[in-house]
Structure 1
């Protein structure tokens, strides 16, 4: 018995949250140059840096890739960006603050996920589900400068406190306040995360839930929707229209989205069985569905049905974009992790269940570890800001051939445009940009771009990674 107590910490989810927190601290100070979604991280970091250097008004986020404009654009509520900025105000700006903030909040989110499941299911189910979520797609994205797991963590906290209120917890007012605050912040930072609030239908339509409590809960929830609706349906379109920078993806019409998703159905399925929980985790997800059907676990089946239906609304609104960006699966990862954990907890052989859980963890870590490294061919971008200082000022507008990926622009610490080689070859196009104040073109040779020569412009410098040209006024086009 004494020997068993020595290892009791292995069954404490807080131990594993801490272990995986430490694991994800590896390379935490890296700039956002890892292969997966460096472009998305760069835009988040751009906004944080512009809060620090230009204007800290949270309602007017700015990006750097429409250099001839103010860069003000509509986007998700920049809470993560602003927290990044707040830390920079104290310690000076660094790329990686957003990583650490996201990691901390996402780790807390895992603990609330565990507590939420433990309220209604066994300790074993809660532990397995939380650990599976830890090593899912959550593992790598919870340390990126992106709001996805950050937002989902806030939504999970909201569901935890909302369920406390509906279940009749003694601290009713505080639970209601925390529910609406975390709901509003979670939905503001990533509106797609809000789909998970559909789980409250299980309480709303249950005859066991007090009617007055339901009415109060719905009314308060609608109050939480007010700032969310104001942001996405008024303020974001207003900023994009007023300042001319259309950066935020507002989705597609439903029928187009459905057509695009089902037009590439194998890729759609691949997001579920390969990217979210990986293969062993997905097998346990299927096992969980089987056990739920076999044992007539109606609450589990209703939860899966409702969340999947709501998540399909997200998928169909995104259309083809959903298929090509795996982070769209992050909101559904908690549901899949719970079903997989439920299935795992039903395996009578504890040793086999432990082996399978370990297999999920090993597969998850092994398949995502490469995302913690930066490719050698991209490392030159770390110093490109100071390199360019030799020839051009920080205020000069530049064009970069990074195929519309904003990452290189972020690292140059300048403003301008990103585009492909074909567009840069256009004489009239470049003259138009010259007239707008652009004076330099940065040609990336291998990372983010491909080499090209521009003999009609003045070559300033040429090395193994890039060429820098000065744009010449083409008077023949006047």
Structure 2
């Protein structure tokens, strides 16, 4: 009877709504927004599935034959590789694995909100996470930020259970989930702010004497530190990284001699922090993309009322930690919408506090018969959610159905038919900031190196051809490359150019193994 009594139809409906949103355009290949990072993750997954299933040595196709890369712990990649071994490699399946983590976030948010502020607040918090346009889009994107969100919420929930009954088992579980959050994405270490606030709200200053809390948190931090030390050792050996502590978008000098790479910084600058455009843009992003208008207003109201609860400090410190990340890493925050995802859980909880009456049957039945009241509220919330999604920037800037990078699929498919499977290729995918691009090598299912128009040079090509065994040169922007880099054009004229069919006539393909007279 207890199990039946605990069944929550509203919560189940919210999870189903979340699933419906996330399966929107799930059939897309990884050519929508943030395709570069999604394809990199898929590339690593493919190396696991087709090569050695060693999660401690992730590999990429744009790093030559070795391709070992220093990065966050590849849990999403590894689990998806296992699924691919069963189902076969499809991008839809990879997105579905991400959706599973995203739905887990909604479920965990429901349980966390219920424990902290009551069942109606838990429903409301889960609802906002279910329909947030950014949580929806990134919840079906093949990014590590999706499991990060689930583990972050799960970590706070696990510690709350530990504080109920501080056993060794509960401490170990909480510590492992906390570690996993930051292992899959380092910024999640800021969840310690929420955990610390929760400890203080539960036990006040006596929490500082909780040996289990200290042991669990320190163990989590040590596990995280050990992994990123290992990742940095990989970088020092291969020169390849995914922007953990070292600059990404570069190659070592022995691979790319005399190339000055312009690495991308994620850290704040005084110019960015003092920019009105940055703060107005961020406000607009939270209002329209992350929270929706009703979620934004609800979170503001919740900020006032959350302090009436004994758990307000947990949410406050969690949100403060997320805001600190936004300030410290403003450049990265500006360029990548998913960098604000660590802020969504505490903001969803604030919304839950404010919107709880809409999800409380005892309140609704005061105004109408309960079935009618629930029906009206449910229809209203669903309609508001759909309209908020339609009005958000997600459809244009993230799904961007009119500007998909589909040419990489066509070019890659053609390269598969021409370039031998074991041939190393050099690619140029972008005008600038394109070094380490995974796009063409992934869809061509080949290995090699990738540069952009500003970093490729005859010296680089000759070095890779002579000393590293590069056999082909390919560019998805061939005409633009030859126009902007006459030195590269002159060099490539010394080799046989392979004619391409009309469907991929913008693809430049040169056989570096067949020299010819100029």
Deviation digits for residues 70-124 of structure 1, max 9, x if unmatched? 1101111011100011112223333333211121122122111111111121332
What is the rounded CA distance, in whole Å, between the counterparts of 1:423 and 1:115 in structure 2?
Answer: 50
Aligned length: 457
Cα pair distance change 1:280/1:44, threshold 3 Å: same
Q: Which residue in the other structure is 2:352 paired with?
A: 341
Whether 1:461 aligns to 2:505 is no
Deviation digits for residues 278-299 of structure 1, max 9, x if unmatched? 333222222322445xxx5365
Q: Which residue in the other structure is 2:460 paired with?
A: 429
Q: Is the 8 Å Cα contact of residues 33 and 374 (structure 1) preserved in structure 2?
A: no
Correspondent of 2:105 among 104, 109, 112: 109
Q: Is the 8 Å Cα contact of residues 496 and 516 (structure 2) preserved in structure 1?
A: no
Q: Which residue in the other structure is 1:123 paired with?
A: 119
Q: Which residue in the other structure is 2:213 paired with?
A: 217
C-alpha displacement at 1:355, in angstroms?
A: 7.8
Q: Which residue in the other structure is 1:100 paired with?
A: 96
Q: Secondary structure at the match of 1:414?
A: coil
Q: Which residue in the other structure is 1:323 paired with?
A: 334
Structure 2, gaps ≥5 residues long: 1-6, 248-264, 368-372, 484-488
Q: Secondary structure at the match of 1:418?
A: strand
* Worse-superposed segment, 320-329 or 461-470: 461-470
What is the rounded CA distance, in whole Å, between the counterparts of 1:132 and 1:20 in structure 2?
Answer: 9
What is the 5 A alignment of 1:54-453?
54-67=51-64, 69-136=65-132, 137-168=134-165, 172-206=167-201, 208=203, 214-232=210-228, 234-250=229-245, 257=268, 259=270, 261-268=272-279, 269-270=282-283, 271-292=285-306, 296-297=307-308, 299=310, 302-345=313-356, 357-358=381-382, 360-366=384-390, 367=392, 368-369=394-395, 371=398, 375=402, 378-403=405-430, 404=434, 405-424=437-456, 426-435=457-466, 436-445=468-477, 450=480, 452=482
Instruction: Give the TM-score taking structure 2 as reference length.
Output: 0.78
What is the rounded CA distance, in whole Å, between the counterparts of 1:374 and 1:255 in structure 2?
Answer: 28
Cα pair distance change 1:274/1:417, threshold 3 Å: farther
C-alpha displacement at 1:395, in angstroms?
A: 2.0
Q: Secondary structure at the match of 1:390?
A: helix
Cα pair distance change 1:204/1:380, threshold 3 Å: closer
Cα pair distance change 1:102/1:260, threshold 3 Å: farther
Instruction: Give the TM-score taking structure 1 as reference length.
Output: 0.84
Q: Which residue in the other structure is 2:486 paired with?
A: none
Q: Secondary structure at the match of 1:237?
A: helix
Aligned-pair RMSD on alpha carbons? 3.4
C-alpha displacement at 1:413, in angstroms?
A: 0.9
What is the rounded CA distance, in whole Å, between the counterparts of 2:8 and 2:480 in structure 1?
Answer: 50
Q: Secondary structure at the match of 2:499?
A: strand
Q: Is the 8 Å Cα contact of residues 266 and 329 (structure 2) preserved in structure 1?
A: no
Cα pair distance change 1:187/1:256, threshold 3 Å: closer
What is the rounded CA distance, in whole Å, between the counterparts of 1:80 and 1:256 in structure 2?
Answer: 26
Cα pair distance change 1:415/1:307, threshold 3 Å: same
Q: Secondary structure at the match of 1:64?
A: coil
Structure 1, gaps ≥5 residues long: 1-8
Q: Secondary structure at the match of 1:248?
A: coil
Q: Is the 8 Å Cα contact of residues 49 and 84 (structure 2) preserved in structure 1?
A: yes
Whether 1:31 aligns to 2:29 is yes
Q: Secondary structure at the match of 2:498?
A: strand
Whether 1:42 aligns to 2:83 is no
C-alpha displacement at 1:432, in angstroms?
A: 2.7
Q: Secondary structure at the match of 2:59?
A: coil
C-alpha displacement at 1:241, in angstroms?
A: 0.1
Cα pair distance change 1:373/1:16, threshold 3 Å: farther
Cα pair distance change 1:358/1:471, threshold 3 Å: same
Q: Is the 8 Å Cα contact of residues 441 and 468 (structure 1) preserved in structure 2?
A: yes
